[in-house]
């Protein structure tokens, strides 16, 4: 059974940093692309970033490019999102999502999400 469990969310001040993690199990983690998607309060889903299975390719939405960095540790089956220069508009529930073999593969499994609140 595929399981994705996000962690690392919390309250952070504007301009601060936070590192999210997603522990994956139930599939061969290193073979699949993975993504981060968020949903701000009262807003829709927003794709943020994708990383290929071998971490050779990373892709970002314009809204987070230069501030967020996606990475993965295939030895620990873990996906990460380093978030810097956080803004109030980054307040959201952050989900990790599994894709297929390619970065163009759709999202098929999702975690339960972790809440990030950016506020002073």
Residue 15 backbone class (left: φ over 0; alpha: ψ -120 to 50; beta: rest): left
Residue 61 binds other proteins, judged by CB under 8 A: yes
Kindly tell me which residue out of 111, 114, 116, 118 binds other proteins, with binding defined by CB under 8 A. Answer: 111
Verify binding: residue 106, other proteins, rule CB under 8 A.
yes
Q: Which one of the spans 19-27, 36-44, 72-80, 81-89 is the region binding other proteins (CB under 8 A)?
A: 36-44
Among residues 11, 45, 88, 115, which is the contact residue for other proteins, using CB under 8 A?
A: 45
Q: What does the block give as tokens for 10? A: 């919390």
Nearer to other proteins, 30 or 103 (CB): 103
41 token code pair:
């309060």
55: left (phi over 0), alpha (psi -120 to 50) or beta: left
- Token reading at 113: 């999400």
Q: Does 47 bind other proteins (CB under 8 A)?
A: yes
N-to-C CA span, the chain: 40
Compute the radius of gyration of the chain from its Cα atoms.
13
Q: Hey, what are 82's tokens?
A: 């380093």
Using rule CB under 8 A, residue 42 touches other proteins: no
Q: Which residues of this protein are in contact with other proteins, per CB under 8 A?
A: 35, 37, 39, 44-47, 50, 57-59, 61-62, 95, 97, 103-113
């Amino acid at each position: 059974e595929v399981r994705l469990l996000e962690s690392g969310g919390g309250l952070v001040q504007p301009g601060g940093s936070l590192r999210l993690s997603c522990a994956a199990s139930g599939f061969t983690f290193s073979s699949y692309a993975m993504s981060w998607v968020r949903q701000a309060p009262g807003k829709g889903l927003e794709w943020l970033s994708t990383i290929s299975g071998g971490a050779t390719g990373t892709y970002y939405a314009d809204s987070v490019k230069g501030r967020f960095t996606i990475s993965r540790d295939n030895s620990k089956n873990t996906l990460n999102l380093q978030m810097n220069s956080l803004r109030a508009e980054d307040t959201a529930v952050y989900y990790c999502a599994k894709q297929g073999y390619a970065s163009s593969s759709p999202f098929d499994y999702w975690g339960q999400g972790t809440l990030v609140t950016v506020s002073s």
